[in-house]
Amino acid sequence: MSNPWFRFYSGFIHDEIIETLSFEDQRHFIFVLCMKCAGTLDKKYPENVPLDRIVRRRLGLDGEAFEAAKDRLIQSGLVGEDWQPVKWNELQFVSDTSTERVRKYRERVKKRGASHKGNVSVTPQDTDTDTDTDTETETEKKDIDVFSDEFEEWWRDQYPTRKGSHSKVKAKTSYIRFRKSGVTKEQIWEATDRYFHELLGDKETKPRIGTEFVKHATTFLNDQPWIE
């Protein structure tokens, strides 16, 4: 399946095998990863169009230069004879595809909605007063107050404060918007823990993360990392 992006780890620049490759072959390998992500390597081609011809055109190589580059990548253990990247599936996740993430998210929302409907007692509406409307508005306000308090705790204890008050205001707006839409506190906080664990492996070291490695809180929330 074609995907607009794939997981590429920072350890690439320290990998002993990668270090043995020339700059050109490192570039060739990255191109192979891009082709795998785009579905080029898994597509069914006519018998008269071998995969090597497709890869050759993508790499911009021909003749002996192409064959030599292929041999070097195979000998390094980075790709197979069929150009498939070694251990690709171990480094990628099915849930990374946006289609799969959205499908699972919608299923969870649908289940929550069905659960709420089954637990709600329906009472006749009093058309002579605005009590129901007032109650709903008051409940909404209380929810926002709760979400606001949650955000303050999340901002203080779960996510490092990096970008000042303006960034905090924007992040708070996003946080409350997602909570109002049905995303649970647990989903957001667990996703935050996973994010920093992937960066550091140790939550206690969060304050020492360099700014360049941490997403803006608003960006993190808008990416909806809790959708798996």
pLDDT per residue as tens digits for the range 126-151: 444 444 445 557 777 888 888 889 99
Q: Are the CB atoms for 176 and 147 separated by under 8 Å?
A: yes
Q: For residues 87 and 106, what is the distance between their CA atoms, to the nearest angstrom?
A: 31
**Domain-wise residue ranges, the chain:** 10-91, 143-228
**For residue 211, what are its two tokens?**
């700014």
Mean pLDDT of 149-155: 89
Residue 127: per-residue pLDDT: 46
Q: Are the CB atoms for 105 and 178 separated by under 8 Å?
A: no
Rg (CA), the chain: 25
Q: Are the CB atoms for 227 and 102 separated by under 8 Å?
A: yes
pLDDT per residue as tens digits for the range 13-49: 888 899 899 999 999 999 999 999 888 999 888 888 8
pLDDT per residue as tens digits for the range 46-60: 888 899 999 999 999
**For residue 108, what are its two tokens?**
């969870």
What does the DSSP 8-state code read for residue 39?
T
What does the DSSP 8-state code read for residue 79?
B
Please check the confidence at residue 9 and state whether its pLDDT lies above 70.
yes
The H helix count followed by the E strand count for the chain is: 10, 0
- Give the chain's length: 228
**For residue 134, what are its two tokens?**
């007032």
Q: For residues 41 and 29, what is the distance between their CA atoms, to the nearest angstrom?
A: 13
Between 79-83, 113-117, 212-216, 222-226, the lowest mean confidence (pLDDT) is in 113-117
Q: Where do the H-state alpha helices sit in the chain? A: 16-20, 23-38, 51-59, 63-75, 88-91, 98-119, 131-153, 164-180, 185-200, 217-222
Which of 74, 49, 75, 107 is CA-nearest to residue 228? 107
